[in-house]
């Protein structure tokens, strides 16, 4: 399934299910993807995290052959994806951001139809069962709920028993119950040994489901790693939030050393610091002098969301 | 892959039958057209047999130029085709199976139309296998055009707009809804550049003619148009709704599709395939209108000027400008002073001078129009029409009103035989005048006939019209739907047309 990375001259020796190097894609004057390189190991659930418009969907659609990139190399399941697209499609499963089918087609018919095009097709009845669609097997597509449609889209992605799955914002627009069910299904893929590339703008989802994430913004990957490693990188910086009565003027805080990313919103102050003990000592002294009471105080390590916001915020400012 | 394409074809058909709107479009509309044609041509001796080519063409046009692109574009808008793109199947297989599904649906609609037509009395097609081949060729041509429309349109409303730009011209000037022979010359030439004409011809030939072999040019024209359109449609194919004219070649493919239409039209013209039935007239149904300086509102007014005491003045309430214009004194038409001349008091007293002074042959409706049409000598009727005309010609000598003693009434009666098919728009209408003229020529000496025809022209409402009620013995339908005034007026115009031929004023 995998391929030797030497074939592409990549800088490390490993077996990758998906390897992308220097991928570029523009729409007119807009550079949607700017020279992205990405490596996903076999059996890994990889998250592509980024705000809306970051280029995640364009990148995924280039990889799966829905869009023709302007440059770069793509290798999927050991195949040059741009030259052997049809063979690649035999081996991968794709769930698009919005999979629409004909209004009057039923889940059973859709799965039977898609199954006929693959060499190694799964049994449509089993797929209906697995994705809890048996009851709705003969209902027309236009009568399915959003969650049922997403489950059907996922079932279609599984119709060829793929080893690599590409899921584009799979839980977007779903109610909490459907979202939980779909996340459970994705989590099961890991135990099945499948490789998954998942795009999302939901940090919690990425943190919960993915072994590694890449944070994408402005058409580029700005950070890659395990969620824990990314937060550990920021471990030296702790996040502090406190509520006071009365509120404090942000100007007064400038005297305190070591505070970064300060936000002051009425009674609530948040900031990051590399030396929480010292900064808090100086801050409490300042509050004492000013006769301000502390109502709440929280100190915690950076979450992936904060890393994400910090990185993408920095990108946006740049 | 073939198994998948077949299943996709079956699923497409199944979905079609679940869509009430598509069913309405695909089956109800053709049935409505059939009912409309049946009503329009209700006096045809054999119902619809002469118009089934037109009806089938409308069915294929609807299914191909609207049905196919509407389905393709709405699915593409939804993102269905984007999803299809992720399957390990070549685009050609998916498009072919979609078109095949549409072909089957169009065939079923055509069969329904044939069955309904046969139910109301149309005989079965003379060449059923040829008809299937011809239908397939027609479907190929129009489905190709539908594919191009689907690639050009981004939305379903755009499909409707583009479809109409093809559908309506073919209906009106392409020989699909209006018979080619009724069209003016320019439209007959224009129709050569539209595939509808060829579709009607080749389908009709298989139902009531000599089969597809007699319309090889039409069949070939459709194959060329279909091949160019299919190639263009395939080359322009797009999975996404926002990729219209994505490459600069796309517009060139549209040009290729249209170039096939132009090439076929040019070939038809060069080979003399388009021979307008009546080259002498440029306009159709152009009933002469009164000029500003010599307004004529009714024959009554005109006849009154000529013969203020005649009884037909009272009967002239029905406007018949054709007769009026034809009998307008030249002086009046030119805006000159009224002619002071003694008018004949009996038909025997009619002189050449009266004819020259009172009749305007250049104001007559054209023979190629829809009012008082007359076939040219080279205009060969189809076998069914030939048979109908022959039946009438055999019955006419025994027809009692055609042998009454009064020669003027006799001529009137025989002229009514030409007028009634014209008013009822029967298929034989333009061939009957020749039979009538022949009969009159055989019965009455030329000098007398000239005078009588003049007399009828200026006294259209004289005599009686009881003979109009006795048309069924000639194999014609009852003329109850035609008003006696209209029959008399048309008879008078036919009379003037014969008079013109007899006096050399009109080239036959």
**B141-160 confidence digits (pLDDT tens):** 999 999 999 999 989 999 99
Q: Give yes or no for residue A8 having a pLDDT over 60.
A: no
pLDDT score at B197: 93
pTM of the model as a whole: 0.69
Asked if B441 has any chain A CB less than 8 Å from its own CB, the reply is no
Q: Give yes or no for residue B371 having a pLDDT over 50.
A: yes
Band of residue B140 on the pLDDT scale cut at 50, 70, 90? very high
Asked if B249 has any chain A CB less than 8 Å from its own CB, the reply is no
Closest to B422 (Cα-Cα) out of B357, B479, B341: B479
Other CB atoms within 10 Å distance of the CB of residue A295: 11
Band of residue B229 on the pLDDT scale cut at 50, 70, 90? very high
> What's the average model confidence in pLDDT over B127-143?
96
Closest to B368 (Cα-Cα) out of B195, B186, B177: B186
Other CB atoms within 10 Å distance of the CB of residue B109: 23
> What's the average model confidence in pLDDT over B479-490?
82
CB–CB contact B83 A89 (8 Å): no
pLDDT score at A304: 66
What is the separation, in whole angstroms, between the first and last Cα of chain B? Answer: 65
* Of A260-269, B31-40, B273-282, minimum mean pLDDT range: B273-282
Task: Locate the chain B residue with the closest alpha carbon to A90.
Answer: B88
> What's the average model confidence in pLDDT over B402-410?
92
Over the stretch A180-234, which tens digit does the pLDDT of each residue have?
Answer: 888 888 888 878 888 999 988 777 788 888 889 898 888 888 888 887 777 666 5
Task: Locate the chain B residue with the closest alpha carbon to A28.
Answer: B246
Asked if B78 has any chain A CB less than 8 Å from its own CB, the reply is yes
In this prediction, what percent of chain B has a pLDDT beyond 90? 40
Between positions 92 and 111 of A, the ones with CB within 8 A of B are: 94, 96, 98-105, 109
CB–CB contact B75 A102 (8 Å): yes
> What's the average model confidence in pLDDT over B39-61?
86
Q: Give yes or no for residue A289 having a pLDDT over 80.
A: yes
Calpha distance A108→A127 (Å, rounded): 9
Task: Output the CA angle A282-A283-A287, nearest 5 degrees.
Answer: 120
Q: Give yes or no for residue B47 having a pLDDT over 80.
A: yes
* Of B32-36, B130-134, B425-429, minimum mean pLDDT range: B425-429
Q: Give yes or no for residue B232 having a pLDDT over 80.
A: yes
Of B67 and A177, more confident: B67
CB–CB contact A94 B82 (8 Å): no
> What was the ipTM of the complex prediction?
0.75
Calpha distance A135→A307 (Å, rounded): 43
Contacts of A105 in chain B (CB under 8 A): 11, 15
Q: Give yes or no for residue B283 having a pLDDT over 50.
A: no
Q: How near does any CA of chain B get to the CA of A39, in Å?
A: 22
Over the stretch B334-357, which tens digit does the pLDDT of each residue have?
Answer: 444 444 567 788 898 998 888 888
pLDDT score at B317: 32
Task: Locate the chain B residue with the closest alpha carbon to A92.
Answer: B86
- A/B interface, count of CB pairs below 8 Å: 60
Range of B21-25, B305-309, B474-478, B499-503 with top mean pLDDT: B499-503
In this prediction, what percent of chain A has a pLDDT beyond 90? 34
Residues linked to residue A297 through DSSP beta bridges, in sequence order? A242
> What's the average model confidence in pLDDT over A258-280?
81
Which of B22, B74, B87 best probes binding to A when mutated, by most A CB atoms within 10 angstroms? B87
Calpha distance B496→B360 (Å, rounded): 9
Q: Give yes or no for residue B125 having a pLDDT over 50.
A: yes
Contacts of B105 (CB under 8 A, 6+ apart): B13, B16, B26, B63, B67
Calpha distance A156→A118 (Å, rounded): 11
pLDDT score at A100: 84
Q: Give yes or no for residue A310 having a pLDDT over 80.
A: no
Q: Give yes or no for residue A150 having a pLDDT over 90.
A: no
pLDDT score at B508: 67
Strands A195-200 and A164-168: parallel
Q: Give yes or no for residue B190 having a pLDDT over 70.
A: yes
> What's the average model confidence in pLDDT over A53-81?
91
Q: How near does any CA of chain B get to the CA of A73, in Å?
A: 19
* Of A70-79, A172-181, B64-73, minimum mean pLDDT range: A172-181
> What's the average model confidence in pLDDT over B197-215?
91
Edge to edge, the sheet with strand A259-265 lists A259-265, A268-273, A238-245, A293-301
Phi, psi of B236 (to 5 degrees): -90, 0
Query: What is the overall mean pLDDT for chain B?
Result: 82
């Amino acid at each position: 399934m995998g391929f030797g990375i030497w074939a592409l001259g990549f800088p490390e020796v490993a077996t990758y299910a998906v390897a992308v190097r220097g991928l570029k894609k523009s729409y007119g004057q807009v550079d949607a993807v700017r020279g992205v390189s990405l490596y996903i190991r076999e059996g890994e659930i990889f998250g592509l995290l980024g705000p809306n418009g970051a280029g995640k969907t364009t990148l995924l659609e280039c990889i799966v052959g829905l869009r023709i990139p302007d440059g770069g190399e793509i290798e999927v399941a050991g195949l040059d994806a741009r030259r052997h697209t049809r063979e690649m499609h035999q081996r991968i499963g794709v769930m698009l951001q919005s999979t629409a089918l004909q209004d009057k087609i039923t889940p059973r018919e859709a799965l039977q139809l898609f199954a006929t095009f693959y060499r190694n097709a799964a049994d449509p009845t089993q797929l209906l069962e697995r994705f809890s669609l048996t009851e709705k097997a003969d209902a027309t597509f236009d009568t399915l709920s959003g969650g049922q449609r997403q489950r059907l889209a996922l079932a279609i992605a599984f119709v060829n028993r793929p080893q690599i799955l590409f899921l584009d914002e799979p839980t977007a627009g779903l109610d909490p119950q459907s979202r939980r069910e779909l996340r459970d299904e994705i989590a099961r893929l890991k135990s099945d040994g499948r490789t998954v590339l998942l795009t999302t703008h939901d940090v919690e989802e990425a943190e919960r489901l993915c072994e590694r994430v890449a944070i994408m913004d402005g058409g580029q990957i700005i950070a890659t790693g395990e969620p824990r490693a990314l937060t550990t990188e920021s471990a030296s910086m702790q996040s502090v939030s406190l509520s006071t009565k009365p509120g404090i003027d942000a100007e007064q805080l400038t005297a305190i050393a070591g505070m970064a990313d300060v936000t002051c919103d009425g009674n609530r102050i948040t900031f990051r610091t590399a030396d929480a003990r010292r900064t808090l000592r100086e801050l409490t002294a300042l509050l004492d002098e000013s006769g301000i009471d502390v109502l709440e105080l929280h100190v915690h390590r950076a979450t992936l969301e904060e890393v994400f916001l910090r990185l993408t915020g920095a990108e946006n400012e740049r | 892959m073939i198994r998948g394409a077949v299943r996709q074809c079956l699923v497409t058909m199944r979905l079609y039958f679940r869509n009430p709107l598509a069913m309405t479009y695909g089956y109800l509309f053709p049935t409505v057209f059939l009912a409309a044609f049946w009503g329009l041509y209700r006096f045809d001796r054999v119902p619809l047999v002469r118009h089934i080519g037109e009806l089938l063409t409308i069915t294929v046009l609807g299914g191909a130029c609207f049905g196919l692109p509407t389905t393709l574009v709405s699915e593409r808008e939804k993102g269905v085709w984007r999803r299809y793109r992720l399957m390990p199947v070549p685009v050609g297989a998916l498009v072919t199976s979609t078109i095949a599904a549409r072909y089957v649906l169009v065939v079923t609609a055509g069969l329904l139309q044939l069955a309904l037509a046969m139910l109301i009395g149309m005989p079965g097609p003379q060449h059923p296998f040829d008809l299937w081949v011809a239908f397939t060729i027609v479907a190929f041509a129009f489905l190709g055009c539908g594919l191009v429309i689907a690639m050009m349109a981004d939305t379903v409303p755009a499909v409707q707009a583009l479809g109409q730009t093809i559908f309506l011209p073919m209906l009106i000037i392409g020989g699909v809804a209006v018979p080619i022979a009724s069209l003016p010359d320019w439209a007959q030439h224009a129709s050569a550049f539209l595939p509808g004409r060829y579709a009607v011809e080749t389908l009709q030939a298989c139902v009531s003619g000599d089969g597809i072999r007699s319309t090889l040019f039409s069949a070939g024209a459709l194959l060329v148009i279909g091949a160019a359109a299919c190639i263009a449609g395939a080359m322009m194919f797009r999975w996404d709704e926002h990729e219209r004219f994505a490459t600069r070649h796309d517009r060139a493919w549209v040009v290729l599709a249209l170039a096939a239409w132009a090439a076929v039209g040019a070939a038809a013209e060069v080979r003399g395939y388009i021979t307008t039935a009546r080259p002498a007239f440029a306009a159709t149904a152009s009933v002469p209108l009164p000029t500003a300086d010599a307004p004529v509102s009714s024959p009554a007014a005109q006849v009154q000027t000529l013969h203020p005491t005649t009884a037909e003045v009272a009967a002239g309430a029905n406007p018949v400008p054709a007769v009026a214009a034809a009998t307008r004194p030249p002086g009046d038409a030119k805006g000159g002073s009224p002619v002071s001349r003694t008018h004949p008091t009996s038909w025997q007293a009619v002189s050449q001078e009266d004819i020259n002074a009172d009749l305007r042959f250049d104001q007559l409706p054209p023979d190629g129009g829809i009012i008082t049409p007359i076939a040219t000598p080279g205009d060969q009727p189809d076998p069914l029409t030939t048979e109908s005309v022959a039946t009438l010609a055999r019955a006419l000598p025994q027809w009692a009103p055609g042998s009454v003693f009064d020669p003027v009434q006799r001529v009137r009666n025989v002229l009514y035989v030409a007028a009634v098919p014209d008013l009822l728009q029967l298929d034989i209408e333009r061939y009957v005048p020749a039979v009538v003229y022949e009969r009159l020529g055989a019965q009455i000496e030329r000098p007398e006939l000239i005078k009588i025809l003049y007399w009828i022209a200026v006294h259209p409402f004289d005599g009686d019209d009881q003979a109009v009620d006795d048309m069924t013995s000639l194999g014609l339908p009852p003329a109850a739907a035609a008003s006696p005034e209209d029959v008399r007026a048309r008879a008078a115009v036919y009379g003037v047309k014969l008079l013109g031929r007899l006096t050399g004023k009109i080239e036959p």
